[in-house]
């Protein structure tokens, strides 16, 4: 049954993507905000398909911790779900993505038009300066800047170093940084055909104010994200085994709906 549901979801996912991709071609010439709204429609559709076909839902905890006036969200990255959910959860995010993603038909085109921040991993200092300039423009619009501090998807339980790009953003933009933990990889793994039913939790943690030195910032960021991600993974495993105990949330956490800008 799981294989059949995964196959049905994949057919529906690619069909939905192709349909909107073709119908929405005029949005590639529309203003950026219009392209983002169109992309949000696509994301909502994918999440509906996940819930209806696979039985995979999600919840968001601690969204109210995002400060007004802009922030950097340093988010754990485990699954394709993370990028799909961002426009629904954060309304108008500016994700930092590798440049090659913007070359993908439909998905990459719309992501570029909606204002994603591209980074050329092989471009050295010039690429970093270009990324920082784009991030500054997005921050000036009040958009949350989203970066995956490890630079790639990392499976639950696996480890990868935290990259210096997140500190470069933090230092240059002088914005609070909000760590975010997620257990999406417990349900939809990297390049995995199977998607498991359940409920993904995305949790925003307490912000770190501007001005911390590099070593302190990187150590604290990794500690918060990794500890909370491990707790969410344990909760997912307990749910998979049939435990009736609700997933762990931090004491100050509160489940919230999508963020909307005023």
Query: In the structure encoding, which two tokens stand for residue 237, read together?
Result: 């495993």
Has residue 105 got a pLDDT over 90? no
DSSP state of 174: -
Three-state secondary-structure class, residue 246: coil
Rounded to an integer, what distance in angstroms lies between the CA atom of residue 143 and that of residue 121? 23
- Between residues 157 and 205, the one the model is more confident about: 205
Of 75, 85, 78, nearest to 157 by C-alpha is 78
Q: What is the CATH number of domain 2-256?
A: 3.40.1130.10
250 pLDDT tier (thresholds 50, 70, 90): very low
CA-CA distances (angstroms) from residue 96 to 72, 144, 164, 207, 243?
11, 11, 13, 19, 37
* 91 backbone φψ class: left, alpha, beta (φ>0; ψ -120 to 50): left
Q: To which H or E segment does residue 231 belong?
A: helix 214-240
- State the Cα–Cα distance between residues 155 and 210, nearest whole angstrom: 30
**Would you give the end-to-end CA distance of the chain in angstroms?**
44
Question: Could you give the 3-state DSSP secondary structure of residue 145?
Answer: strand
Residues with Cβ within 8 Å of residue 135, at least 6 apart in sequence: 94, 96, 117, 145, 169, 172, 173
Q: Percentage of residues in the chain with pLDDT exceeding 70?
A: 91
Question: What are 116-154's pLDDT values in tens digits?
Answer: 998 877 767 777 888 889 999 999 999 999 999 998 899
The pLDDT mean for the chain works out to 88
Contacts of 26 (CB under 8 A, 6+ apart): none
Model pTM above 0.85: yes
Cα–Cα distance for residue pair 202/164, rounded to 1 Å: 23
The three-state secondary structure class of 114 is: coil
* Region of poorest pLDDT, from 94-98, 101-105, 112-116, 158-162: 101-105
Look at 10-24, 176-190, 239-253 and tell me which has the smallest mean pLDDT. 239-253
Q: Within 59-192, where are the H helices?
A: 80-90, 107-113, 124-140, 165-173
Q: And the tokens for 54?
A: 């696979």
What stretches of 141-200 show up as alpha helix (H) in DSSP?
165-173
Is-contact 140 148, C-beta < 8 A?
no
| Residues 16 and 104 sit within 8 Å (Cβ to Cβ) | no
Q: Count the neighbouring beta carbons within 10 Å of the beta carbon of residue 38.
A: 21
pLDDT band at 98 (very low <50, low <70, confident <90, very high): confident
In terms of Cβ atoms closer than 10 Å to its own Cβ (0-12, 13-18, 19+), residue 9 is: buried
Q: Structural domain boundaries of the chain?
A: 2-256
User: Cα–Cα distance between 153 and 105 in angstroms, integer?
Assistant: 21
């Amino acid at each position: 049954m799981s294989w059949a549901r995964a196959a049905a979801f994949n057919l529906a996912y690619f069909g939905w993507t192709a349909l909107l991709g073709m119908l929405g071609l005029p949005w590639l010439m529309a203003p950026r905000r219009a392209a983002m709204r169109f992309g949000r429609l696509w994301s909502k559709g994918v999440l509906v398909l996940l819930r209806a076909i696979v039985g995979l839902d999600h919840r968001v905890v601690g969204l109210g911790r995002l400060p007004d006036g802009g922030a950097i969200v340093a988010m754990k990255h485990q699954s394709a779900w993370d990028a799909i959910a961002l426009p629904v959860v954060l309304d108008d995010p500016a994700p930092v993505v590798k440049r090659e993603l913007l070359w993908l038909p439909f998905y990459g085109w719309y992501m570029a038009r909606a204002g994603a921040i591209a980074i050329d991993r092989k471009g050295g200092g010039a690429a970093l300066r270009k990324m920082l300039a784009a991030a500054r423009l997005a921050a000036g619009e009040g958009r949350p800047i989203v970066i995956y501090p490890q630079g790639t998807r990392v499976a639950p339980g696996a480890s990868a170093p935290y990259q210096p790009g997140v500190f470069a953003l933090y230092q240059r933009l002088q914005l609070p940084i909000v760590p975010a933990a997620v257990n999406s990889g417990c349900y939809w793994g990297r390049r995995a055909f199977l998607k498991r039913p359940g409920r993904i939790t995305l949790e925003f943690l307490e912000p770190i104010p501007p001005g911390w030195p590099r070593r302190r910032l990187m150590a604290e960021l990794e500690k918060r994200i990794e500890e909370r991600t491990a707790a969410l993974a344990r909760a997912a495993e307990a749910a998979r085994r049939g435990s009736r105990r609700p997933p762990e949330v931090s004491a100050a956490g509160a489940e919230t709906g999508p963020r909307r800008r005023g």
